[in-house]
């Protein structure tokens, strides 16, 4: 009886373990479904999927657990180091920007890009013009132009005027003006000026003008006029001075200048290394650490929305519901095969003890 009890106990537990998964599908005799088919897990697959989904959301991938992980300094350090490593590789890239983007599968329409960049440049200029149009010259530049700057401008004009007056062409023009003046006075004028060499007269006038401009009185005359013009100019609105920006020929020239200054083709022909070299130190020391910190902060704030959009509970439920039962059985058995064997042995042991007790009871009762 001990052997029979042990056999029955072991067989029962082994069959019970098998019936957790098998049969995979319900079995029928005619229209009658055989009891206990399919196995427990295939039969309760939908309920199991729902419970697994709730388990993952409520106890495993919770909002709090994800938040703690994203706020972990070690994880931030790993991401930052990875970004710095990738940046170090990128800043040594010798390919042109165009080639590098092409290898990434990114195609750039240079014509459209140039039009976009130029248009943005014009929009920024127009924005500045509109902002400045309602301001006076004094509002915009009054603080930058002092009496010292006016004196510097006067000295500059004095030098330029002296250069113009001292030139041979100016002397020739003065001689021409004298001749025209003499001729305009008729016979009497010609008679009076016949005693004077017109060339020498024009040279004397030229020297007198040069000497006067070089004197303090000449400088003050220039300074007072420059100061007067500046005071009048300060009261004018910039809008009256900036109207030329809206002329068609000016905008055409501006577009041409922006196309050269902001040339997309030139930028794309630069090597990645050359393009990135001016910002290298800032990227590794400031931008990447700041970007990493901001990115993690943003992710932490978006956790509820992300979890809501992912709907992890339904995702897990759908995955478990479609998971092959045979594969699930293999996975469970690969993990718990040893334990299931001991359950079978325990059933045999208990069955043997029960058989022994039954045998003893039968022996003593007889």
The answer to whether residues 347 and 13 touch, using CB atoms and an 8 Å cutoff, is yes
342: nearest Cα among 1, 13, 20: 13
Q: Which residues pair with 33 in a beta bridge?
A: 28
Where are any strands of DSSP class E within 168-286? none
Residuewise pLDDT in 10s, the chain (366 residues)? 678 777 777 777 777 777 777 777 777 787 887 777 777 777 777 787 788 888 888 888 888 888 998 889 999 999 999 999 998 888 888 899 888 888 888 888 888 888 898 888 888 888 887 777 777 777 777 666 777 888 888 899 989 988 888 888 888 887 777 777 666 666 555 655 565 566 777 788 888 888 888 899 888 989 999 888 888 877 777 777 677 777 888 888 888 888 888 888 888 899 988 888 888 778 888 899 999 999 999 999 998 898 888 888 888 888 877 877 777 777 777 777 787 788 777 877 787 787 778 777 777 776
Output phi, psi for 32, to 5 deg.
-90, 125
The answer to whether residues 7 and 364 touch, using CB atoms and an 8 Å cutoff, is no
């Amino acid at each position: 009886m001990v052997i029979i009890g042990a056999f029955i106990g072991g067989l029962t537990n082994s069959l019970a373990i098998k019936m957790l998964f098998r049969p995979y599908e319900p079995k029928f005799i005619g229209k009658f479904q055989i009891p206990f088919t399919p196995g427990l897990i295939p039969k309760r697959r939908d309920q199991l999927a729902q419970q697994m989904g709730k388990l993952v959301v409520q106890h495993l991938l919770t909002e709090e657990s994800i938040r703690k992980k994203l706020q972990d300094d070690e994880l931030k350090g790993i991401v930052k180091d990875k970004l710095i490593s990738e940046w170090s590789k990128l800043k040594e890239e010798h390919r042109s920007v165009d080639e590098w983007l092409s290898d990434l599968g990114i195609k750039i329409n240079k014509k459209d890009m140039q039009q976009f960049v130029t248009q943005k440049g014009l929009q920024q200029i127009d924005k500045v013009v509109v902002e400045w149009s309602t301001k006076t010259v004094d509002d915009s530049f009054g603080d930058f132009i002092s009496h010292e700057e006016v004196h510097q401008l006067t000295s500059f004009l004095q030098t330029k005027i002296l250069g113009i007056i001292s030139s041979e062409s100016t002397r020739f023009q003065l001689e021409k003006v004298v001749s025209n003046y003499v001729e305009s006075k008729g016979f009497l004028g010609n008679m009076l000026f016949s005693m004077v060499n017109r060339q020498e007269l024009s040279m004397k006038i030229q020297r007198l003008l040069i000497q006067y401009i070089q004197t303090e009185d000449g400088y003050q005359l220039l300074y007072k006029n420059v100061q007067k013009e500046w005071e009048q100019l300060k009261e004018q609105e910039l809008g009256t001075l900036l109207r030329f920006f809206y002329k068609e020929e000016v905008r055409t020239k501006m577009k041409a200048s922006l196309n050269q200054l902001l040339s997309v083709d030139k930028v794309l022909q630069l090597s990645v290394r050359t393009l990135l070299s001016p910002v290298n130190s800032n990227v590794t020391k400031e931008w990447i650490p700041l970007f990493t910190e901001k990115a993690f902060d943003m992710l932490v704030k978006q956790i509820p929305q992300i979890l809501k959009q992912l709907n992890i509970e339904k995702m897990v439920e759908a995955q478990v519901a479609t998971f092959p039962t045979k594969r699930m059985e293999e996975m469970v058995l690969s993990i718990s095969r040893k334990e299931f064997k001991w359950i079978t042995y325990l059933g045999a042991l208990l069955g043997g003890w029960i058989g022994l007790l039954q045998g003893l009871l039968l022996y003593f009762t007889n």
